[in-house]
């Protein structure tokens, strides 16, 4: 794994292949390894960079900076640190919001964005539900995650895959829980019309964490945006149906 310093913290990442740069951003509490199937395929003809954002994987775990705005700022700083030429940002779940904010903040430095199973505004206003989740995590983090994470995958998904995901979450700092409340107040819809980079949503057909209409609404608000549905996939569509996901992603990149 490579490392670089951004905004005063050290971020860990994997950098494979050569060609058009693709920066893959994982969802809440996991890590760059959730993109292994995509890296193995796309590194043949792209530069594939999988980043562990702050608090997760091999990256630093500072005491502050766990908001959507902060991590989006890290992402733009990471693009600059690696001197990437207008990369494509691909963000899973909450990282879809990071791609949105990066595109709004630095449209001249971002080539395109691909939000994947992205919640965007879906959790806005759910303060009571988010507060309960936080209380459950404080009371029994391992048990809560063991109950919560299986819903990220389609019915019948590999139990070992779910277990690995839970383990990644347990290995991340609990400070990432601040993002849960941040999502409850996050609604970028009034600003989506200002996005000026190519945008294409990928979304699992069977995603129960973020229903498909969320992505459909966002597509309608972003000029020129498009949507591809990954058949038979849940919220972690890149892991749930990797072959279907990779095919769809390649079509988008073309």
**CATH of residue 140:** 3.40.50.1820
Counted domains in the chain: 1
Range of the domain at 42: 2-253
Asked whether the whole model's pTM tops 0.75, one would answer yes
Per-residue pLDDT of the chain (254 residues; tens, 9 = 90+): 999 999 999 999 999 999 999 999 999 999 999 999 999 999 999 999 999 999 999 999 999 999 999 999 999 999 999 999 999 999 999 999 999 999 999 999 999 999 999 999 999 999 999 999 999 999 999 999 999 999 999 999 999 999 999 999 999 999 999 999 999 999 999 999 999 999 999 999 999 999 999 999 999 999 999 999 999 999 999 999 999 999 999 999 99
The 3-class secondary structure across the chain, one letter per residue, is CEEEEECCEEEEEEEECCCEEEEEECCCCCCHHHHHHHHHHHCCCEEEEEEECCCCCCCCCCCCCCCHHHHHHHHHHHHHHCCCCCCEEEEECCHHHHHHHHHHHCCCCCCEEEEECCCCCCCCCCHHHHHHHHHHHHHCHHHHHHHHHHHHCCCCCCHHHHHHHHHHHHHCCHHHHHHHHHHHCCCCHHHHHHCCCCEEEEEECCCCCCCHHHHHHHHHHCCCCEEEEECCCCCCHHHHCHHHHHHHHHHHHC
């Amino acid at each position: 794994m490579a490392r670089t310093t951004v905004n005063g913290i050290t971020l860990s990442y994997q950098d494979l292949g050569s060609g058009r740069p693709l920066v893959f951003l994982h969802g809440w509490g996991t890590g760059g390894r959730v993109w292994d199937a995509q890296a193995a395929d796309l590194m043949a003809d792209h530069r594939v960079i999988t980043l562990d954002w702050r608090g997760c994987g091999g990256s630093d775990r500072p005491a502050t900076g766990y908001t959507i705005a902060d991590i989006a700022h890290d992402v733009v700083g990471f693009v600059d640190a690696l001197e990437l030429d207008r990369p494509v940002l691909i963000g899973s779940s909450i990282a879809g919001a990071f791609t949105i904010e990066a595109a709004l903040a630095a449209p001249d430095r971002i080539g395109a964005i691909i939000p994947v199973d992205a919640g965007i505004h879906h959790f806005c206003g759910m303060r009571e539900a988010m507060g309960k989740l936080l209380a459950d995590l404080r009371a029994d983090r391992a048990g809560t995650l063991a109950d919560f994470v299986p819903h990220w995958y389609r019915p019948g998904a590999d139990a070992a895959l779910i277990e690995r995901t839970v383990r990644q979450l347990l290995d991340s700092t609990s400070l990432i829980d601040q993002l849960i409340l941040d999502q409850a107040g996050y609604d970028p819809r009034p600003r989506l019309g200002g996005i000026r980079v190519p945008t294409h949503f990928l979304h699992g057909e069977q995603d129960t964490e973020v229903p498909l209409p969320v992505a459909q609404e966002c597509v309608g608000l972003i000029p020129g945006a498009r949507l591809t549905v990954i058949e038979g996939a849940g919220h972690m569509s890149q892991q749930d149906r990797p072959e279907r996901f990779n095919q769809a992603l390649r079509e988008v990149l073309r």
